[in-house]
Amino acid sequence: MSRIYNIAVIPGDGIGPEITECALKVLNVAARKYNFSLKINKYLAGGCAIDRYGLPLPEETLEGARASDAVLLGAVGGPKWDNVKPELRPERALLELRAGLGLYSNLRPAIMYPELSGASPLKSTKPIDIMIVRELTGGIYFGKRGTYETDEVMADGTPMGTVTYDTESYGVGEIARIVKQAFEIARSRNKHLTLVDKANVLATSREWRRIAGEVNEVYRDVTLDFLYIDNATMQLIARPHTFDTIVTSNMFGDILSDEAGQITGSIGMLPSASLGKPGTPGMYEPVHGSAPDIAGTGKANPLATILSAAMMLELSLGESRAALAIKKAVSDTIADGYRTTDIMIGKDSVKICNTEQMTDAVIAKLK
Ligand code: IPM
Ligand code: MG
């Protein structure tokens, strides 16, 4: 009997609808080949939901996501909604989905395809294969925030005025669960875990170090080392090939994953997974944004979303063979010279293609 999975698809804004369509096309072919089927339910979130319902994450979308086996998301946001109130911004949809689904663990692999090394701004062409494990539902993104008035006068004599604050706070349990997961992932890779923090200044960071050290006792086969975030941003450029698995807080992970995306060549290639408690739906999305400037032009690179769909098959649906087949089809497509404009390097004999042609090329290689 064929396995059936319920997938909540949230196309979003800009290029979101085009690229999720491409990923669904690939998924459906993989489903036929590997004997499972997908039941797709589409939901609105982000700017399109603001236009339709006046809020970025309608209850129906969160409920649909909760009731699914996994969520596939395109991208949200665009200049059209730049001036809406902060609590109504399209990005709120992402944050509320993460919180609402309890997606505390964000996996962002940064892999450099050898054929695309020329697209990297770095001179080194040594292989890069880094997994960033970012805490996703805590820290300063979700900490206490507010404003208050004060009469305080600063040392230079000027009044402080209205004070605005965001808070970085982490509970022991919150740190321990993401650190454990990072150790598990490092164990399945090259057994090298780097904790990135700011332990020379922040109390929360010192707590991350203490807990990581404790958890390391259970994962003695994994080498744990530490880097301050400022130094980490340098080392990632200086010696990217020496990193294996990185674990870090919500905000540092946000910053580092964009940097890792850039050094591997194109952010148009990078998938991500956001996971919560085992057995609950994970959410899969490309790391890039909604790119409203190229929406509808056929220029979008569908590979990050196609690779996100592969992560979904592997991590939420247990269809590892199909996941592997998609990843292999993508590498073969790249190796064969197919290029969307964002990953074009020089003028060597590449096959320039649009969003749809790239998708069809992947499908043709899917075994
Ligand atoms: C990301 C994005 C989001 C984040 C924004 C859009 C809220 O930058 O997923 O990295 O900061 O987490
Ligand atoms: Mg980001």
pLDDT tens digit string along 124-150?
778 899 999 999 999 999 999 999 999
Model confidence band, residue 86 (pLDDT cutoffs 50, 70, 90): confident
Q: Is the CB of 91 under 6 A from ligand 1?
A: yes
Distance 196 CA to ligand 2 centre (A): 16
- Residue 131 token pair: 């997994």
Q: Is the CB of 254 under 6 A from ligand 1?
A: yes
Q: Is residue 140 part of a domain?
A: no
Residue 42's pLDDT is 98
Averaged pLDDT, 281-290: 96
Asked if residue 347 has pLDDT above 70, the reply is: no
Q: Is residue 66 part of a domain?
A: yes
Residue 87's pLDDT is 86
Query: What's the structural domain count of the chain?
Result: 1
Distance 217 CA to ligand 2 centre (A): 32
User: In this structure, is the dihedral angle defined by the CA atoms of residues 55, 61, 66 and 70, taken in order, positive or negative?
Assistant: negative
Q: Is residue 260 part of a domain?
A: no
Distance 254 CA to ligand 1 centre (A): 6
Q: Is residue 267 part of a domain?
A: no
User: Which ligand neighbours the alpha carbon of 135 most closely?
Assistant: 1
Query: Helices 16-34 and 355-365: crossing angle, nearest 10°?
Result: 10
Model confidence band, residue 119 (pLDDT cutoffs 50, 70, 90): confident
Q: Return the percentage of the chain with pLDDT > 90, whole number.
A: 90
pTM for the complete prediction? 0.95
pLDDT in tens, 50-84: 999 999 999 999 999 999 999 999 999 999 999 99
Q: Which residues, including other chains, have CB under 8 Å from residue 226's CB and lie 6 or more apart?
A: 194, 195, 196, 197, 199, 209, 212
Active site residue 51: no
Q: Is residue 14 part of a domain?
A: yes
Q: Is the CB of 135 under 6 A from ligand 1?
A: no
Residue nearest to atom 5 of ligand 1 (CA): 91
CA distance 64 to 43: 8
Q: Is residue 9 part of a domain?
A: yes
Q: Is residue 359 part of a domain?
A: yes
Residue 348's pLDDT is 64
Which residue has better confidence, 344 or 353?
353
Residue 346's pLDDT is 67
Assign residue 323 the CATH number of its domain: 3.40.718.10
> Residue-wise over 85-124: b if at least 16 C-beta within 10 A, else e?
eeeebbebbbbbbbbbbbbbbbbbbbbbbebbbebbebee
The helix/strand/coil state of 147 is strand
Averaged pLDDT, 92-101: 97
User: Which ligand neighbours the alpha carbon of 97 most closely?
Assistant: 1
Average pLDDT, the chain: 96
Residue 344's pLDDT is 85
The angle at the Cα of 341, spanning 338 to 343, to the nearest 5 degrees, equals 65
Q: Is residue 328 part of a domain?
A: yes
DSSP 280: S
Q: Is the CB of 196 under 6 A from ligand 1?
A: no
Structural domain including 307 reads 1-104+297-345+355-367
The angle at the Cα of 313, spanning 266 to 268, to the nearest 5 degrees, equals 10
Q: Is the CB of 94 under 6 A from ligand 1?
A: yes
Residue holding tokens 């090259």?
Answer: 190
